[in-house]
Amino acid sequence: MSAPNYNPTELMICLAARQIPDGVTAFIGTGIPMLAASLAQKMHAPNLIPVFEFGGTGAILKRLPRAVGEGRTFYRGLVASGICDTMETAARGFIDYGFLGGAQIDPYGNLNSTIIGPRHHPPKVRLPGSGGANDVGSLCWRTIIIIRHDKLRFVPKVDFITTPGYLTGPGAREAAGLPPGTGPYRVVSTLALLDFDEETKRMRLLATNPGVTVEQVIENTGFELIIPPNVGQNEPPTEEELRILREEVDPERFYI
């Protein structure tokens, strides 16, 4: 049974959580990825192994962490190490999924979280930068991107590539020396769920969010999307998803 009363952030968290299968490793960043991982662990993926940048691996996300290096990222975990070990684990191919956000995304899934504007010095806007985002997008097998959907963010070409997607198209990642078979997997936005065409590596619309039309997605995207003949529609959050999210994952409404 579906529950109609939810906000856009809660919907994005639920959609992101549904992308995580059981029994995988997932590189978890600050914010919505933490909530999505915790919700997935409680709903359908009890064997999910969260990996945090500062060394917590396999934590039970009973209480929501506030940052990727705080004590809750180690709670009842499998390993307590450090950032170098975590990045080496990704480089060795042991992390299945990675979660990322960004200020801009282009048709090939390249992400920008560094600057806005045509010049690096001085930029129009200076953003936080990479952190571990380049490592996650370069080395995890499948990257899930969580981002608000409008033309300011979905742009024909990012102002700066903080995190490589498929760069300029088929074969470009491999030519740049990145591991074959890695790259963007899903985009979870405030309007839709998207993926990338296997041949062209361009972004493709999979399903619209409840109450959103295909035309609205197109209008809010600054480049041409691949629109398949049959576009699905994402299910709204269920009552159980919202109960767990509000009562167990984030009862203080810190993020939601």
Q: Measure the CA–CA gap between 149 and 130, rounded to whole angstroms.
A: 21
Please, which residues bridge with residue 203 across strands?
Answer: 196
Total residue count of the chain as it appears in this document: 256
Q: Catalytic: 88?
A: no
Q: Which residues contact 128 (CB under 8 A, 6 or more apart)?
A: 113
Annotated catalytic residue, options 10, 53, 70, 199? 53
Active site amino acids: 53
